[in-house]
């Protein structure tokens, strides 16, 4: 694990190293038990948009979920392939949203209705996406932690807003008993492409002083939207420094974030082997059976011969 003061020099090194890449920083105050995670995921969300042909409304909703999943990796071991799956099932027109992330910073996801209509609302003097209308304000948020130690842990909480960030904050406080503040933003350009996407998670841990809790609450409330900060050129380490200003911020973790799908022929084949003999025969009557990966759109084709080699007798 790294442990570095978040000085101007450290921040410049990070900026030079990552440039336009996506990454997450984990920072802590030197003397108080709290953690701050800030992620930039512009490239990952844009990749999701292109893979799935997402409408602007779907880009914002899935983008928020992907960033949320990246922030949820605070619950798994850093730099491992332990993973977290976030599933949002709201009563809005987008249907189910699935996003997954692992301790190495790899994210992937999909939505049921990628072409969902884009709803907007007027707030704070400008037109914003109405994400809770797209997602739905009633439903559930499910988190599945796969720690590779046997059974995955699943927790379900009701949606509290459908805006995703607030729903995650609620999940952290209810299911994990960690008081948390979450901010997530996805900014879509005129042409529908992703201009900025990122988020933060601030958590206070046991033994923290009331004074620092108040200070962090105040900082989070006063913080401009993440995408606005990113538009101004602020990077994850700068945002972490803004939140922890005066508390001697230390950088304790760093990882590149990317949209990555580990699917392969074996995974695709095993999904076909779950079918019954007659379902499979029906599928193979019209030629090779096709499996399309929901996360990345890759198409796998199997002939009867291909499948024989793996089909149990």
Q: Which residues are near Zn ion by CB under 5 A?
A: 261, 263, 293, 295-296, 298
**Residue nearer to Zn ion on the CB measure, 123 or 267:** 267
User: Closest approach of Cβ 190 to Zn ion, in Å?
Assistant: 30
CA nearest to 141, candidates 175, 118, 109, 112 = 175
> Closest CB to Zn ion among 112 and 176?
112
Other Cβ atoms less than 10 A from the Cβ of 213: the count is 14
Shortest CB 112 distance to Zn ion, Å: 17
Minimum gap (Å) between residue 44 Cβ and Zn ion? 14
Q: Is 57 exposed, middle or buried (0-12, 13-18, 19+ CB in 10 A)?
A: buried
Closest approach, Cβ 145 to Zn ion, in A, equals: 21
Strand order in the sheet with 4-5: 4-5, 249-256, 23-29, 34-40, 194-204, 180-188
Choice between 261 and 283, CB closer to Zn ion = 261
What's 73's DSSP letter? G
- Tell me if 44 sits within 8 A of 259, measured CB to CB: yes
- Cβ atoms of residues 147 and 135 within 8 Å: no
Q: How far apart are CB 293 and Zn ion at their closest, in Å?
A: 3
CB of 70 to Zn ion, least distance (A): 18
Pairwise CA distance, residues 77 & 143, whole Å:
16
**Among candidates 196, 161, 206, which has minimal Cα distance to 182?**
161
Select 213 or 263, whichever has its Cβ closest to Zn ion. Answer: 263
Q: Which is nearer to Zn ion, 186 or 268 (CB)?
A: 268
Of the pair 106, 255, the CB lying nearest Zn ion is at 106
Q: Across-strand partners of 250?
A: 5, 28
């Amino acid at each position: 694990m790294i442990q570095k003061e978040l000085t101007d020099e450290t921040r410049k090194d990070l900026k030079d190293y990552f440039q336009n890449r996506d990454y997450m920083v984990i920072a802590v105050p030197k003397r108080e038990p709290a953690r701050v995670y800030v992620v930039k995921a512009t490239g990952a969300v844009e990749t999701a948009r292109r893979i799935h042909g997402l409408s602007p409304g779907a880009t914002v909703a899935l983008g928020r979920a992907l960033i949320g999943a990246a922030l949820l990796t605070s619950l798994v071991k850093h730099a491992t392939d332990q993973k977290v799956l976030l599933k949002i099932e709201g009563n809005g027109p987008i249907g189910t949203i699935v996003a997954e992330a692992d301790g190495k910073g790899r994210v992937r996801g999909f939505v049921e209705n990628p072409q969902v209509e884009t709803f907007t609302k007027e707030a704070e003097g400008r037109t914003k996406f109405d994400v809770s209308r797209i997602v739905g304000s009633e439903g559930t948020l499910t988190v599945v932690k796969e720690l590779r130690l046997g059974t995955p842990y699943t927790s379900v909480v009701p949606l509290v807003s459908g805006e995703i960030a607030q729903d995650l904050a609620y999940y952290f406080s209810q299911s994990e008993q960690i008081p948390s503040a979450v901010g997530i933003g996805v900014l879509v350009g005129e042409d529908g492409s992703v201009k900025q996407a990122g988020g933060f998670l601030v958590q206070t841990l046991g033994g923290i002083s009331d004074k620092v809790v108040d200070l962090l609450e105040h900082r989070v409330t006063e913080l401009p939207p993440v995408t606005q900060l990113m538009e101004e050129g602020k990077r994850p380490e700068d945002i972490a420094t803004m939140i922890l200003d005066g508390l001697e911020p230390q950088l304790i973790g760093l990882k590149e974030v990317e949209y990555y799908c580990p699917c392969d022929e074996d995974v695709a084949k095993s999904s076909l082997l779950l079918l019954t003999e007659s379902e499979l025969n029906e599928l193979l009557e019209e030629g090779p059976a096709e499996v399309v990966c929901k996360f990345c759109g890759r198409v796998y084709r199997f002939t009867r011969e291909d499948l024989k080699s793996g089909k149990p007798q």
